Amino acid sequence: MWKVLYPHFLVDSVVELTPERLRTLGIENLLLDVDCTLKRYALQEPEPEVMAWLNLLRDENFKLCLLSNGVGTRIGQFATLVDLPYIAKACKPFPSGCRRAFREYGFEPSKTAIIGDQIFADVMAGRLAGIRTFLAPPIAPEEEHWFTRIKRPFEKIVLRSFKLAYPDGIWKER
């Protein structure tokens, strides 16, 4: 049961995912959650270090796609700002948004990972789509919608269980 809720990897920030680390894991494509992962919910633009990270990955020939449950116009504006393709209204935790990225952008699942800040959206969507998952802590969670904030205590329970089982922050199949 826990497998679908456990991320493969915990990171402190997306910028930890260097091209070298991603290549070591065989990852060539990234599905990126937007709100509270790449930027604060209340702001339209990412922090400069996140923008630099996106540019570095692009320069290193990684394929990137924004994958958000957000509304198309708002996510589309952000996608234009960061110059990335996007899938809005992705219906995470269902894997349909991930699968759409596989089809539309030619992402091979075995070489694709998702990074996000929510267990009950990003991690579950990635797990159900059969790809690797990275969980980052949310950026400015106090700005999130109430429906996201009510899930956070339950995520803390799952995360506590994960950290007890995998203290190094890396999930290992048994």
Output the domain CATH number for residue 132: 3.40.50.1000
Assess contact for 129 and 94: CB atoms under 8 A.
no
Domain total of the chain: 1
Domain assignment present for residue 91? The answer is: yes
Distances (CA, A) of 128 to 18, 77, 108: 25, 28, 15
Would the pLDDT of 174 be above 60?
no
Domain assignment present for residue 125? The answer is: yes
Assess contact for 102 and 87: CB atoms under 8 A.
no
Q: What percent of the chain has pLDDT over 70?
A: 95
Domain assignment present for residue 171? The answer is: no
Domain assignment present for residue 173? The answer is: no
Q: What is the dihedral of CA 104, 107, 113, 118, to 10 degrees?
A: 10
Summarised one tens digit per residue, pLDDT across range 76-126 is: 999 999 999 999 999 999 999 999 999 999 999 999 999 999 989 999 999
Confidence of residue 41 (pLDDT cuts 50, 70, 90): confident
From CA 118, how far away is CA 141, in angstroms rounded? Answer: 11
Assess contact for 71 and 88: CB atoms under 8 A.
yes
Domain assignment present for residue 15? The answer is: yes
Domain that holds residue 161: 2-165
Domain assignment present for residue 172? The answer is: no
Indicate the length of the chain as a whole number: 174
From CA 134, how far away is CA 70, in angstroms rounded? Answer: 20
Token pair for 103? 């089809």
* pTM of structure: 0.90
* H helical segments located in 25-85: 48-59, 72-82
Assess contact for 72 and 88: CB atoms under 8 A.
yes
From CA 101, how far away is CA 153, in angstroms rounded? Answer: 30
Token pair for 26? 């065989």
Domain assignment present for residue 8? The answer is: yes
115/151: higher pLDDT: 115
Domain assignment present for residue 80? The answer is: yes
- DSSP of 90-108: --TTSTHHHHHHHHHH---
